[in-house]
Amino acid sequence: MDYTIFMVMIGSSLVGCVSGALGSFAVLRKQSLLGDAISHAALPGIALAFLITMAKSPMIFMAGAMIAGWIGTMLVMAIVRHTVIKEDAALGMILSVFFGFGLVLLTLIQRLPTANKSGLTHYLFGSAATLLLEDVKAMCLMGVVTLAGLFLFWKEFKLFTFDKDYATALGFPVKRIELILTLLTVTAIVMGLQTVGVILMSAMIIAPAAAARQWTDRLWLMVVLSAVFGAVSGLSGALLSGFVAQLPTGPTIVLIMSAIVLISLLFAPNRGMIWEWFQRRQETKLLRQKLMEKHKS
């Protein structure tokens, strides 16, 4: 098999899997759009990391992205806590201002005489085809760390997500739990930036979890399903874009994920719309039959 396609397949399914798993918590905590803000906020971090080190290493870029994404998240939280401004506006501001600042830095970098700078714009729209072994290695490391963190703090995250007050009352360090969960989410997002790009990364966080939510009410099942949906979309998106010419990977993955969401919204047992409609029709039929029988007797 083609080496490039192989790398892209591994990278994309990894990104789908990890962002799917972490996305479950974001969706359940009604913080889906934080992912959008984090991924946009990462851009100036990547640019600054390059400007400071002048090196093109995925690890350094990801470190810069993580720091910037982290600062953005903290700013959103601080603005919401201390001012009249609501979360939606805070997210929108961080997203657009950080991204704008990132653009300024990117244009500055493009004016630099160094030749070694082309890789940076890949983070804007994602460019899975340029994934190298080095990148995939870095992504693997981040993925393992993220999933291990999820596994390690499973009980705490679960309690925190569903009943924050109870967690506080039990004496759990709620603030620290939130910090770790946010850190893991930032890691998951930064991991996927090179593959799907800043703009579509939020869909990677939201879509698999939104689909998984329709099939189950159990957290562990939702997280597993979400990770599977993410990985399957990543894998099939990478394959499709590998064999069809001029088909960008990121958008293809997002469309496959969205198709899974649509199917889930319509057909999932209990929660699906078609399912509900069918159920209701059965009930009406049954009721009518009973009434008829009563009428006869």
Residue 17 near residue 234 (C-beta atoms within 8 A): yes
Task: Please state the closest distance from residue 248 (CB atom) to another protein, in A.
Answer: 5
Identified binder of another protein from the candidate list 22, 33, 62, 235, rule CB under 8 A: 33
Rounded-to-integer distance, Cα 246 and Cα 135, Å: 22
Task: Please state the closest distance from residue 293 (CB atom) to another protein, in A.
Answer: 34
Region of 270 (left: φ > 0; alpha: ψ -120 to 50; beta: rest) is left
Options 34-42, 48-56, 60-68, 146-154: segment touching another protein (CB under 8 A): 34-42
Residue 191 near residue 131 (C-beta atoms within 8 A): no
Tokens of 4: 């490039």
Query: Total number of residues binding another protein (CB under 8 A)?
Result: 61
Judged by CB under 8 A, does residue 86 bind another protein? yes
Residue 90 near residue 76 (C-beta atoms within 8 A): yes
Helices (H), the chain: 3-28, 34-53, 58-82, 87-110, 122-125, 133-152, 154-162, 164-169, 174-215, 219-243, 249-267, 273-296
Show the binding pattern over residues 206-245: x = contacts another protein (CB under 8 A), - = does not: xx-xx--xx-------------------------------
Q: For residues 118 and 289, which CB has a smaller minimum distance to another protein in the complex?
A: 118
Burial zone of 145 (CB within 10 Å; 0-12 exposed, 13-18 middle, 19+ buried): middle
Judged by CB under 8 A, does residue 155 bind another protein? no
Rounded-to-integer distance, Cα 296 and Cα 19, Å: 59
Q: For residues 136 and 235, which CB has a smaller minimum distance to another protein in the complex?
A: 235
Judged by CB under 8 A, does residue 161 bind another protein? no
Residue type, 237: G
Judged by CB under 8 A, does residue 275 bind another protein? no
Show the binding pattern over residues 92-111: x = contacts another protein (CB under 8 A), - = does not: xx-xxxxxxxxxxxxxx--x
Task: Please state the closest distance from residue 161 (CB atom) to another protein, in A.
Answer: 13
Where does this chain bind another protein (CB under 8 A)?
27, 30-33, 35-36, 40, 79, 82-86, 88-93, 95-108, 111, 124-125, 199-200, 202-203, 205-207, 209-210, 213-214, 246-248, 250-252, 254-255, 258, 261, 265, 271, 273
